[in-house]
Amino acid sequence: MPQLDDRKEHHSELADGVSAQVPTTDEVQIKTPENIGGMGHRKKRKEDPRFLQGKGNYVDDVKLPGMLYMDIVRSPYAHAKINSIDASAALEMDGVLAVITGEDLKAAGDLHWMPTLMSDTQMVLPIDKVVYYAQEVCAVIATSRYIAADAIEQVFVDYEPLDAVVDPFEALKDNVIVREDKEEKTNHIWHWEAGDKAETDAVFNDAATVVKEKMYIPRIHVSSIETCGMVANYNKAREHMQIYMTSQAPHAHRTVFALVSGLPEHKIQIISPDIGGGFGGKVPVYPGYVICAVASLVTGKPVKWIEDRSENLQADSFARDYHIEAEMAADKDGKITGLRVKTLSDCGAADAAANPSKFPAGLYSICTGSYDMKAAHVEVDGVYTTKPPGGVAYRCSFRVTEAVHMVERMTEIMAHELGEDAADYRLRNFIQPDQFPYKSPTGWEYDSGNYEAALKKAMDMIDYRALREEQKEKRAKGELMGIGISSFTEVVGAGPSKDYDILGIKMFDSAEIRIHPTGKAMARFGTKSQGQGHETTYAQIVAEELGLPADDIEVEEGDTDTAPYGLGTYASRSTPTAGAAAVMASRKIKAKAKKIAAHLLEVGVDDLEWNIDRFQVKGSSDQAKTIQEIAFAAYTNHPQGMEAGLEAVDYYDPPNLTFPFGSYICVVDIDKGTGEVKIRRFVAVDDCGHIINPLIVEGQIHGGLTMGLAPAMYEEIVYDENGQNLTGTLADYLLPTAVESPKWELGKTITPSPHHPIGAKGVGESPTVGAPPAIANAVVDALWHLGVRHVDIPITPPKVWKLLRDNGVTD
């Protein structure tokens, strides 16, 4: 067995030579012909035919013989003592097999508590009190979905309401303690900081201009169209637990289940079938999953649990909920010199965020963004409230959206304060192309970037200067038009094992490729697509490397019995990690293929060169062996002394994160009468490094932009003072429809990652990160002359209407 260090060395041998500074282009690179369909081809997705014909296989489609159904009794209070649970009436109903309570889980081996991904604890089912509205109180197991739903109405719980604490600032006063189970009777969970405080304070002391703003990044919910669910199937004879589950991280979940339940890990199989959207919401382990697995263990029968939409919106992990106080400093020339940020993170009743363990505030310290500044200091405090635990991502890398929103708003405010054009101000404060790799004041090393190129391209596409002229004319006539810019820097692809782990498991990811004798291949990965198109993009990566047609490569993910171990798909990490593993595994195969080709051609390996899909004798292309011929020989005529077969596995540990970026420009017109904000145009220039499939990348960007629009203008989870969720259905929690979604105009620049083996960076979440501040900046830009400095998202018509009235606009 090679040691870890040997393997790393092997990696660097396999990686192409890359330099730190990389030129920016805007042409997608294509090296393979269309029949091979490697990188850069606009290939239709391989996974689509089954979805188009209703033949997908989602968790709720799984039906096993003798399957039982679970439904959950949930708390009507945000904070209450439980005096008793009377399930006798439910248990008397025909078809009801069991009611599982916290006491039952406790008796089964203290399963009434579970660890969160942040090493906090969270109740699976309560024993003495509930700490959020819609919290799981007990579960009914019945022979049908309908009987289970009837039976939860027949469980009588005697609650004694306690005071709720909904406002995190109020929670800090510790008048109401959320977590009485903790030794320390305080709602304050953690304090975290990054950057140099003294240096930052000094920069602020020397500043010519300081701008300050408070902003709230509201609690929102991913609300994938498929809710969460599970089918747990315990086989007593085999002592084997098979689980179908809506999981973005099936391997990590298997390990968590093994650690929590005590079942041996080789006796647990997790299958994450087709997933109807994840966006971060299917990363955590929710109480419902644990109860469902226990129910199958207890009954010895398959048990299905599928959330309904209200349960999903009310009890599953939320995203964001950051209360930010930011200050930005500039010198006498207007150059940004520093950033000072204090943030309160409302965690709800448990710190159940899905961040790497060492990062309680995720990658929030990326908040200096695309701007070169001397110093920055960021502080974040986590606090408990009587609201559902979280927070997960909402189609974004760990807390990057919050950081980008803040810095893009602050830069905009600074530009306005100094009377400068928002685009010109950014251009003169950007980190310059020759500064990469760039060391940020909070400790990041940005891999590559060319921020100026992206912004200039966006300005050209939208004809920025003409828009500013139009705005002047409109303003003279009293019309409200705004232009908003966001020049964001993303940070994705977690991550290098020295810093990144989840519950101690390092955040590498994996690929295993087997080439069959007839030259067809099976490729398996530790990630799990939820719509991103992995079956196509991974096949294209392997096609690029090995010359096998992408259509001849079957990609499989999600079954822990067959796929290599990996940490899963979230935070735009699949391409940076498993995509790189696909390259490395392919290159290992290619190294062996070369030896086989040399054997077949009776030449030395050094006499051979690779040409798209074959090894050929240097300078003599008629003497060649295709990858298919080599694959056949690997099983029929391999060299003596060499192992038969043609396969490889790779666990890729990235040397750094990747830093995708982009510049977005949004134009809005505001109706003075109603406060309605109309997005007239939205240009998005993204740079995600080398592009694997332009069609899929466009789709990812469109989707991400719409999930940026959503919190900017429509979505917010709202609670009343008693902690009741007022937005518990899709009639109250407003997802944008096709009518609200603008026609997105896309552009691109390509600045490859210097450390990723194919120069790719990841793209699925950049637009979710970049879009909200572009929209917010456009609205404030339209209203600045009236005295408006800031408006919190979601920017709804009532909010704008009030701002207009408060600032003297009456017509």
Partner 1 sequence: MSEHEVTLTINGESVTRSVEARTLLVHFIREDLSLTGTHIGCDTTSCGACTVLMNGKPVKSCTVFAVQAEGAAVETIEGVAAGGELHPLQEGFWEKHGLQCGYCTPGMIMTAKNFLAQNPNPTEDEIRRGISGNLCRCTGYNKIVEAIQYAAEKLQADAGGE
Residues of this chain that interact with partner 1 (CB under 8 A) are 44-45, 47-58, 60-61, 63, 145-146, 222-227, 274-277, 279, 306, 308-310, 530-533, 695-696, 698-699, 702-707, 729-731, 735, 737-739, 741, 743-744
Q: How far is the CB of 203 from partner 1 (least distance, A)?
A: 40
Mapped onto helix, strand or coil, the DSSP state of residue 6 is: helix
User: Is the separation of the CB atoms in 281 and 352 below 8 Å?
Assistant: no
Q: How far is the CB of 319 from partner 1 (least distance, A)?
A: 13
Q: How far is the CB of 682 from partner 1 (least distance, A)?
A: 11
Nearer to partner 1, 297 or 461 (CB): 461
Q: How far is the CB of 729 from partner 1 (least distance, A)?
A: 5
Residue with the two structure tokens 């909402």: 394
Strand partners, 212: 327
- Please list, in sequence order, all residues whose beta carbon lies within 8 angstroms of the beta carbon of residue 561, skipping any fewer than 6 positions away: 269
CB contact burial 460-486 (16+ within 10 A = b; e otherwise): ebbebeebeeebeeeeeeeebbbbbbb
Q: How far is the CB of 728 from partner 1 (least distance, A)?
A: 10
* Four-CA torsion 418, 420, 423, 428, nearest 10 degrees: -70
475 is catalytic: no
Q: Is the peptide bond before 391 cis (omega within 30 degrees of 0)?
A: yes
Strand 661-670, strand 614-617: pairing: unpaired
Q: Which two tokens stand for residue 380?
A: 């974040």
Q: Point out the catalytic residue in the list 138, 228, 292, 396.
A: 396
Residue with the two structure tokens 């200039």: 456
Q: How far is the CB of 350 from partner 1 (least distance, A)?
A: 26
Nearer to partner 1, 479 or 676 (CB): 676
| Cα–Cα dist 360/587, whole Å | 37
| Residue 274 DSSP one-character state | B
Q: Point out the catalytic residue in the list 412, 545, 647, 765.
A: 765
- Please list, in sequence order, all residues whose beta carbon lies within 8 angstroms of the beta carbon of residue 6, skipping any fewer than 6 positions away: none
Q: How far is the CB of 738 from partner 1 (least distance, A)?
A: 4
Q: How far is the CB of 731 from partner 1 (least distance, A)?
A: 6
396 is catalytic: yes
| Cα–Cα dist 257/252, whole Å | 9
Rounded to the nearest 5°, which phi and psi values hold at 671? -85, 115
248 is catalytic: yes
The 3-state secondary structure of 325-366 reads: EEEEEECCCCCEEEEEEEEEEEEECCECCCCCCCCCCCCHHH
Give 529-573 as a DSSP string. -SSS-HHHHHHHHHHHHH---GGGEEEEESBTTTSPP---S-TT-
User: Is the separation of the CB atoms in 670 and 791 below 8 Å?
Assistant: no
Q: How far is the CB of 369 from partner 1 (least distance, A)?
A: 24
Distance set, CA 751 to CA 374, 617, 726 (Å): 25, 34, 44
Gyration radius from the chain CA atoms: 27
Q: Point out the catalytic residue in the list 154, 242, 248, 540.
A: 248
Catalytic residues: 248, 395-396, 765
